[in-house]
Amino acid sequence: MKSPLIALLLMSFTVQTFADDWTQWRGPNREGRSTEKGLLESWPEGGPSLSWKATGFGVGYSSVVIADGRIFTMGDRDGASCVIAVSEKTGKPIWVSKIGEDGGHKRYKGTRSTPTVDGNDVVALNQHGDIACLDARNGSIKWNVNVREKFAGRMMSGWRYSESPLIDGSKVVCTPGGSEGAVVALDRKTGKKLWETSTWTDFAAYSSVIIAAIHGKRQYVQLTGKSVAGIDPDTGKILWKAERAGKTAVIATPIVHNNRVFVTSSYGVGCAGFEIAKDGSVKELFKNKSLSNHHGGVVRIGDHVYGATGGTFRCVDMRTGEQVWNERSVGKGATVYVDGKFILRSENGPVALIEASPEGYQEVSKFKQPERTREKAWPHPVVANGRLYLRDQDTLLCFNVSK
């Protein structure tokens, strides 16, 4: 059970929301968990009813965020990488703003990052390292910085920038990677550098920074292709670091619970757990292949972590790394938790509703996503205000999942 202090700290980390909005990557606290209640306990055979379908989102794999009646995402269109705002109620366009060049990787073109919205600010990072702060009301650009050029940014491999930037009060935090510092903090109003992790210079991976409390100390936690570290939010000082070698692409957002850190990646690497002491020393608790998540993310419920490994869905004890169960699912994909269940979106299209229980895998419902493209369905599912959102390249689908 969390102490009152830790609970209060964690409450303060959440970007301000309205009703049950979803204002940043992986939702409140970036944990892949929705606060929604009173949703459908199962879906009809053909899936939940489609409220609306919208197009015009361009090329890319960005997920969506929802705030104050608007949906924000990114995509390559009109010869540029763009931030896009549409109506939450209808999907009709509100504004489109260009923040940089389009293109990128020759096979997987388009944007990867998900914007973050807080108040009237939307912060977005494109595949080339252009990070911009825009006015959520009209899309006007307040500032735009290329982190690759400004901070000599380097990545662990060539899949392009995919991190979703963090807004934390007066700061915007992101991971250029490279010799000047793996992570930087920018002034939210101006985009000017506040600090960089000059003693931690790993190349950037594809994971996103989270905020956590470890022994009551508020800090940022980030995972690269070489290590995972805790960062002082005020100074950029490294509070602790654990070596954790990844391969090719390290993507999944780390998990912090009870002063322990859980990380996972694919390409034959697996997962690892670390216990952080008050003095910043680190103990490796386990390292195994019980859960090797690619880019669909993992979710912690209690002391268990759930997520996809290839075509299986797995449950692992976060304290020991032991695999609790492992079952075939609708396929490798992205996971979110809502109202006692997981929604698993396979990269090949099927979507499943799964009981969230360490007792075993129980698939409640599933349906085939309509309007499928030939590209992988990598954008994560989002649930907000009784609706399920599935982005598939140029198309966004909105389903009614409320009772």
Mean pLDDT of 210-222: 99
Distances (CA, A) of 145 to 5, 128, 132, 200: 37, 11, 6, 21
Partner residues linked to 179 by β-bridges = none
* CA nearest neighbour of 125 among 206, 216, 196: 206
Q: In the prediction, which pLDDT does 8 show?
A: 45
pLDDT, tens only, 268-318: 999 999 999 999 999 999 999 999 999 999 999 999 999 999 999 999 999
Would the pLDDT of 217 be above 50?
Answer: yes
Count Cα neighbours of 13 within 13 Å in the Cβ-side half-sphere. Answer: 24
Instruction: DSSP letter for 259, please.
Output: T
* CA nearest neighbour of 162 among 380, 370, 359: 380
Q: In the prediction, which pLDDT does 106 show?
A: 84
Would the pLDDT of 125 be above 70?
Answer: yes
What tokens does 70 get?
């608007």
The answer, as to whether pTM is greater than 0.75, is yes
Mean pLDDT of 109-120: 98
Distances (CA, A) of 139 to 80, 86, 105, 117: 15, 11, 26, 12
Partner residues linked to 167 by β-bridges = 172
pLDDT band of 362, cuts 50, 70, 90: very high
CB atoms within 10 A of CB 17: 19
Would the pLDDT of 10 be above 60?
Answer: no
Q: In the prediction, which pLDDT does 105 show?
A: 87
Would the pLDDT of 97 be above 80?
Answer: yes
pLDDT, tens only, 297-308: 999 999 999 999
Residue 187 to residue 150: CA distance in whole angstroms: 14
Residue 280 to residue 149: CA distance in whole angstroms: 32
Q: In the prediction, which pLDDT does 19 show?
A: 54
Instruction: DSSP letter for 199, please.
Output: T
Residue 233 to residue 235: CA distance in whole angstroms: 6
Q: Within the chain, what is the greatest distance between any pair of CA atoms? A: 54
Domains belonging to the chain, first-starting first, are 4-400 (2.130.10.10)
Q: In the prediction, which pLDDT does 11 show?
A: 46
For tokens 């954790």, name the residue.
244
Q: In the prediction, which pLDDT does 7 show?
A: 46
Would the pLDDT of 262 be above 60?
Answer: yes
Mean pLDDT of 341-357: 98
Exposed/middle/buried for residue 49 (C-beta within 10 Å: 0-12, 13-18, 19+):
exposed
pLDDT, tens only, 12-48: 444 444 358 999 999 999 999 999 999 999 999 999 9
Residue 145 to residue 125: CA distance in whole angstroms: 9
The pLDDT > 70 percentage for the chain reads: 95
Mean pLDDT of 151-163: 97
End-to-end CA distance of the chain: 31
Mean pLDDT of the chain, nearest integer: 95
Would the pLDDT of 210 be above 50?
Answer: yes
Contact of 106 with 75, CB cutoff 8 Å: no
At 173 the three-state DSSP class reads strand
C-alpha torsion 97→103→108→113, nearest 10: -30
Residue 316 to residue 252: CA distance in whole angstroms: 15
Count, residues in the chain? 403
pLDDT, tens only, 379-398: 999 999 999 999 999 999 99
Would the pLDDT of 6 be above 70?
Answer: no
Note the Cα 87 to chain centre separation in Å: 22
Would the pLDDT of 194 be above 50?
Answer: yes
Residue 13 to residue 23: CA distance in whole angstroms: 13
Residue 1 to residue 326: CA distance in whole angstroms: 27
SS3 content of the chain, % helix, strand, coil (to 5): 5, 45, 50
Would the pLDDT of 3 be above 60?
Answer: no
